[in-house]
Amino acid sequence: MKTIAVLTSGGDAPGMNAAVRAVVRTACVNGIRVLGVIRGYNGLINGDFVELDLRSVSDIIHRGGTKLYSARSAEFATEEGMQKAIQQCKENGIEGVVVIGGDGSFRGAQDLSERGIPCVGIPGTIDNDIACCDYTIGYDTCLNTIMECVDKVRDTTESHDRCTVVEVMGRRAGYLALNAGIAVGATSILIPEINFDIEKDVIERMKHTQLTGKKHFLIVVAEGVGVNVTDLAHDIQKETGVESRTCILGHIQRGGSPTVKDRVMATRMGHYAVKNLLMKGIGNRVVAAKNDNVVDYDIFEALNMKRHIDEYLYQIAMDVSI
Ligand code: F6P
């Protein structure tokens, strides 16, 4: 391949810049020209490209967000939008595309591959919800951000003998809530993958620990469970007598400088996407982390895999946070 493009799509995630850097540097040292696509698939449709060379990706490895900007493109989901993107690829000599994003972005990559533009997906999302991957870029940084925020809220929660109900991100997945919940010692963790009953899994647990002398509580709720945390805090206060507050962490969870783990994994995946796949003319693949190795899967196969939460880990959390 002589020219490839790289884009970031969907919700940004810390470490996306490190992945872009690795893609660009690996391609450049192998004599491949790289075009950065601005604002995800919208940029591909509109021909919004920027030439990237070795030095253009200096000083971004430590930055959160994405230098290429990101978007969720409704137009790309239409056949007309897709055809415009293909036309842009042809006019600009783009022979392969690296797509850094979540499963929605991979569907676009699959569609493009099927229409003759080989694409490789790199999993970049804080949610860690890509079934073929043990781990997605941005997840580790996000977990650490949540932990730091909840550690702060814990100080005031403890000082006032209160309960704080913390809502964390995770559109359809509870990995962030489960692992952050363990890291902060939450009394209850509500996630979409495991059925729960507020009375039994929150109120009774709190009452039980009150009997052992516990006076302050943290409850971690994944946004994906659809529980209104203000109502939950109200119910907790009414039923347990513990004054309660809420803390919705929101988009602060998506920002910040990536951790070592995110930077290293992003670099490995970006390198793999170019060196092991696109340079060999291989497309329609998703790069994945499996048992600390970097591997790849057919996109269709990857999108149809089912990921299961570690129920034993959830049980450990419940056994210990009591
Ligand atoms: O997929 C990543 C994510 O941050 C989810 O956890 C969250 O539900 C969603 O994106 C929020 O999207 P937006 O930034 O468009 O509000």
Among protein residues, the one whose CA lies closest to atom 13 of ligand 1: 11
Question: What is the average per-residue pLDDT within 256-275?
Answer: 98
pLDDT at residue 88 in the model = 98
Asked if residue 98 has pLDDT above 90, the reply is: yes
Distance CA 122, CA 266 (A): 8
Q: Are 252 and 9 spatial neighbours (Cβ–Cβ below 8 Å)?
A: no
Asked if residue 249 has pLDDT above 90, the reply is: yes
Distance CA 207, CA 189 (A): 16
Nearest atom in ligand 1 to 170's CA = 6
- State whether the beta carbon of 169 lies less than 6 angstroms from ligand 1: yes
Question: What is the average per-residue pLDDT within 252-270?
Answer: 98
Question: What is the average per-residue pLDDT within 78-93?
Answer: 97
Among protein residues, the one whose CA lies closest to atom 8 of ligand 1: 171
Asked if residue 193 has pLDDT above 90, the reply is: yes
pLDDT at residue 169 in the model = 98
- State whether the beta carbon of 124 lies less than 6 angstroms from ligand 1: no
Distance CA 180, CA 211 (A): 25
Mean pLDDT of all residues belonging to the chain: 97
Question: What is the average per-residue pLDDT within 47-73?
Answer: 98
**Annotated active-site positions, please?**
127
172-204: b (≥16 Cβ within 10 Å) or e: ebbbbbbbbbbbbebbbbbbbbbebebeebbbe
- State whether the beta carbon of 254 lies less than 6 angstroms from ligand 1: yes
Asked if residue 307 has pLDDT above 90, the reply is: no
Confidence of residue 207 (pLDDT cuts 50, 70, 90): very high
CA of 10 to the centre of ligand 1 (A): 8
Question: What is the average per-residue pLDDT within 245-258?
Answer: 98
Distance CA 273, CA 286 (A): 8
Name the maximum alpha-carbon separation found in the chain: 71
pLDDT at residue 191 in the model = 98
